[in-house]
Structure 1
Amino acid sequence: MMQYVKDLTHGSIRGQLVRLALPVMGSSFVQMAYSFTDMAWVGSLGSKSVAAIGAVGVLTWTSNSLALINKVGAEVNVSQCIGAQRMDKAQAYASHNLTLALLISVVWTTLIWTCAVPLIGIFGMESDVTQLSVEYLRVVSTAFPFIFMSAAFTGIYNASGHTQVPFYVNGIGLALNMLLDPLFILGFGMGTLGAAWATWISQVTVCLMFFYVLMRRRRLFERFRILVPLRLPYVPLIFKVGLPVALLNIFFSLISLFMGRTASAEGGYLGVMTLTAGGQLEAIAWYTSQGFSTALSTFVAQNYAAGCTERIRKAFKMTLGITAAIGAGCTALFYGGGEWIFSLITSEPDAYRAGGLFLKIDSYSMIFMMLEITTQGVFYGTGRTVPPALVSITGNVLRIPLALLLGHWGWGIAGVWWAVSMSSILKGCVLFGWLVLRRHVLLTGSTLRPRSGLLS
């Protein structure tokens, strides 16, 4: 069965990392483009429609975070089984992740649909805007089962070394979404609901394409079943690996909400604009390094199970060198050209000067952010997702008291930006230090063994 997957335990390390990372980066940018496309076309309907979709953003972020349970669960467990030459177990983990993704998504969709009104009511918007948000959320929520399944499919293909498949499939989905948005929103006069249905059709199409590719075009497993009866020890090990990553992202979205309120209190609408727009600019660097981190995770998982210790060490050093170079480039660009970058977004002097200050302060943390993300890849590959989650959640939570303290000391809006930057520096140092202290378990030794129970 190994001819269906890529064996990463032999061959050029650098070449394998780059070939794995580039499609993952492309897939990440495709996902970013979905929200940009919807927002661009909805913007023509007016600020109320934009606010309606924006209010749903936190809930869709939370939903995508929950989908990481099975995406990461597949990436780690399936790839470790492949590295150990246990394709029967790899197939079982793939099927269990897909089954769990469907079950979790159905429960989550039911909850969101039932509680849509009180959830949107939290934002305290006008009644007509609230109604638009509720209608949009209920349509989009019915696509969650397909989104969760697609995330699990992505994890399976990443684990097998075929990261280009999710990139191609998601790219087709984006193209379809870009065609349907103007047709439904303006052509059919459906307004905000047009954007919801365009997203729904695109996500369903993506899921069906994954199903077709896995079952017909590029079969990774023989006699593969999408849905199976859930059995031990698969389910607990999937949650053990995937749940910490999901919680990490959920907490990050909640912290971002509070930081947005703090930025508004210190800098008004310019503070909120700077935080949101600056976050999108920072995300470009984040997604680039995340592509290499995901590639490293898959590489480490296969070689960890195969006991190829030296290849893990070399891969980590190579990946760290690449991401450090990316971080250094972002540091130079953000420090020296922050105002110019923001002037491409807005022509208001006060706005691009505020944005320039954010990027200048944020530039100090770029290399440390790369350090954290790269180190995550090693932990994830060995199935230890709890340490990165603990470090990230703790560091992000610290942003709140730090921002309040610096604001109390009279730092103003700059104190909020320094809270973000300093916490990123802290997270990178702590997680890397954790890796160094645990290197005898993670990166050294003549024989590495998968986590207890994985192959039993």
Structure 2
Amino acid sequence: MAKNIDLVNGPVLPSLTGLALPIMATSLIQMAYNLTDMLWIGRMGSSAVASVGAAGMYMWLSNGLAALPKMGGQVNAGHALGAGRTKEAASFAAAALWMTTALGLLFGVCSILFADPLIGFFHLNSPQVIQDAKIYLQITCGCVVFSFLNQTFTGIFTAAGNSRCSFAATLTGLVINMVLDPILIFGVGPFPVMGVMGAAIATIFAQLVVTLVFVAFALRDSVLFRHIRPFDRPGNGRLLAILRIGFPTCVQNMIFTGISMIIARMVAGYGDAAVAVQKVGSQIESISWMTADGFAAAVNSFLAQNHGAGKPERIRKGYRSAMGVVLIWGLLCTVLLIGFPEPVFRLFITEQAVIPMGVDYLVILGVSQLLMSVEITTAGAFAGLGKTLPPSVCSIVLTGARIPLAWLLVRTSLGLNGIWWSITISSLLKGLVLFLWFRSYLGRELGKMSSTAS
């Protein structure tokens, strides 16, 4: 079992980066996992990409629900571990896993039963696209409990200062998905051609294996999981504490996805090719936001443990170190999307009529990558201090502004590009507002901690 990193003692930057690098690598693997699907599905044409893009919105929506037990369990376990209360941390971890399982099963049943109206929301044009979207939805979201569990396991291991398990588990899933995708999509040997259905089956099987790997790591863990009693019913106090921390993030993420679905419906008005551009473009853009999200998870756990341990100076240094790394990464992603949009987009869709739309998407969204990375990392810092409401308020208000802004901009000469600009403008504002908000809050909070310690 990989050694857990001591987050409350020793040099700040090595501790933070030691925890963050495997998480960032895990995020890159997850990104590669998603891009692998797009590479193979893109070979079937923009119609297949559009069907996966529409159904994938509900997978994205499910991640918002999964954030409730993940965030609540990770932050509460981190605070307890920082204060030296290991058994309390274990009870929070157990409660989070219980809640995760229940929510995952509930979302899966609803996805299977209501596939027709869920896909009908997007007003897709082609009957084949609609049928493939329903199939992809019922398989991936119907078995979403494995994805839910993987996210919660990742949060709990990270709270304990162990991010290497998540890296190993996710890497295993990536390898399996890379092997199964072409086999099940195009048919190899005894396997028939399954198209979009094959991509969905490959994804779910890989997620199942990742869950089993996490369980194996948990059984070998000697720090936190050995104190968990999985068959004991979690107390209401633990569930309420998880709900208090996780609920704002859950609402934020689900509203964010709901707004994105409304935007996607506006995009669909420009044809199935536009839907495909948004799907592929967002996957490419995940190079920045998924990595920033992984680093935010490390910042979350670092600040959570040091908050529990009552060490304000390490909190300040940890956030400053994190921002230095994230700014460099955001800048690199900006250069990639703005400087090389066409060759990057051509990796996924080669249809000549679609490429100019994809180039416009990447260039416009590239403008916001730096401040988007700042927003995501700062949201993780807020959460580590037990304050998930400020980033939720900021995200809900400014993301909601995308709808009227897009409605206005598409009526100008920008057309479809007006939608992309509405996303970029709101991302710029969110990053700036949340950064300034956190700087103000951090000064007050650390002053209180210093006064209490003295």
Q: Please indicate the TM-score interval, normalised by the length of the shorter structure.
A: 0.7 to 0.9
Equivalent in the alignment of 2:74: 75
Equivalent in the alignment of 2:19: 20
What letter is aligned with 2:159?
A
1:356-395 matches, cutoff 5 A: 356-395=359-398
1:43-442 matches, cutoff 5 A: 49-124=48-123, 129-185=129-185, 186-187=187-188, 188-189=191-192, 191=194, 192-216=196-220, 220-263=224-267, 272=275, 274-338=277-341, 341-342=344-345, 354-442=357-445
Q: 1:330 to 1:224 in 2, by over 3 A?
A: closer
Q: 1:271 to 1:72 in 2, by over 3 A?
A: same
Q: Conserved in 2, the CA contact under 8 Å of 1:78 and 1:90?
A: yes
Give the secondary-structure state (helix, strand or coil) at the position aligned to 2:448: coil
TM-score by length of 1: 0.87
Greater mean deviation of Cα atoms: 299-308 or 276-285:
276-285
Q: Conserved in 1, the CA contact under 8 Å of 2:89 and 2:224?
A: no
What letter is aligned with 1:12?
P
Q: 1:151 to 1:317 in 2, by over 3 A?
A: same
Structure 2, unaligned runs of 5 or more: none
Partners in 1 of 2:405 and 2:107 — Cα distance? Answer: 34
What letter is aligned with 1:255?
I
Equivalent in the alignment of 1:454: none
Partners in 2 of 1:263 and 1:216 — Cα distance? Answer: 48
CA-to-partner distance for each residue in 1:402-431, whole Å, 9 max, x for gaps? 122233454434433332222112111211
Q: Conserved in 1, the CA contact under 8 Å of 2:295 and 2:377?
A: yes
Greater mean deviation of Cα atoms: 155-164 or 140-149:
140-149
Partners in 1 of 2:306 and 2:28 — Cα distance? Answer: 28
Greater mean deviation of Cα atoms: 71-80 or 300-309:
71-80
What letter is aligned with 2:204?
W
Give the secondary-structure state (helix, strand or coil) at the position aligned to 2:224: coil
What letter is aligned with 2:383?
Y
Equivalent in the alignment of 1:453: none
Q: Conserved in 1, the CA contact under 8 Å of 2:77 and 2:89?
A: yes
CA-to-partner distance for each residue in 1:308-331, whole Å, 9 max, x for gaps? 100111111111122122233334
Q: 1:345 to 1:172 in 2, by over 3 A?
A: closer
Give the secondary-structure state (helix, strand or coil) at the position aligned to 1:445: helix
TM-score by length of 2: 0.87
Partners in 2 of 1:303 and 1:179 — Cα distance? Answer: 42
Partners in 1 of 2:360 and 2:11 — Cα distance? Answer: 42
CA drift of 1:45 comes to 5.6
Partners in 2 of 1:382 and 1:145 — Cα distance? Answer: 28
Q: Does 1:37 find its partner at 2:40? A: no
What letter is aligned with 1:394?
V
Q: Conserved in 2, the CA contact under 8 Å of 1:109 and 1:141?
A: yes
Give the secondary-structure state (helix, strand or coil) at the position aligned to 2:447: coil
CA drift of 1:133 comes to 3.9
Greater mean deviation of Cα atoms: 70-79 or 28-37:
28-37
Q: Does 1:10 find its partner at 2:15? A: no
Partners in 2 of 1:203 and 1:345 — Cα distance? Answer: 23
CA drift of 1:119 comes to 2.3
CA-to-partner distance for each residue in 1:214-246, whole Å, 9 max, x for gaps? 113555343422243131321112112222222
Give the secondary-structure state (helix, strand or coil) at the position aligned to 2:401: helix
Greater mean deviation of Cα atoms: 253-262 or 287-296:
253-262
What letter is aligned with 1:316?
Y
What letter is aligned with 2:226?
E
Partners in 1 of 2:345 and 2:178 — Cα distance? Answer: 26
Partners in 1 of 2:201 and 2:271 — Cα distance? Answer: 34
Partners in 2 of 1:198 and 1:360 — Cα distance? Answer: 32
Give the secondary-structure state (helix, strand or coil) at the position aligned to 2:324: helix
Q: 1:297 to 1:184 in 2, by over 3 A?
A: same
Identity %: 36
What letter is aligned with 1:153?
F
CA drift of 1:434 comes to 1.6
Q: 1:416 to 1:166 in 2, by over 3 A?
A: same
Greater mean deviation of Cα atoms: 78-87 or 289-298:
289-298
Q: 1:114 to 1:409 in 2, by over 3 A?
A: closer
Greater mean deviation of Cα atoms: 365-374 or 128-137:
128-137
Q: 1:293 to 1:421 in 2, by over 3 A?
A: same
Give the secondary-structure state (helix, strand or coil) at the position aligned to 1:8: coil
What letter is aligned with 1:210?
F
Q: Conserved in 2, the CA contact under 8 Å of 1:285 and 1:326?
A: yes
Partners in 1 of 2:107 and 2:272 — Cα distance? Answer: 33
CA-to-partner distance for each residue in 1:98-123, whole Å, 9 max, x for gaps? 11111112222222222223323434
Give the secondary-structure state (helix, strand or coil) at the position aligned to 1:67: helix
Partners in 1 of 2:427 and 2:198 — Cα distance? Answer: 39
Root-mean-square deviation (CA, aligned residues, Å) is: 2.9
Q: Conserved in 1, the CA contact under 8 Å of 2:46 and 2:273?
A: no
Structure 1, unaligned runs of 5 or more: 450-456
Partners in 1 of 2:128 and 2:347 — Cα distance? Answer: 33
What letter is aligned with 1:397?
G
Q: Conserved in 2, the CA contact under 8 Å of 1:173 and 1:206?
A: yes
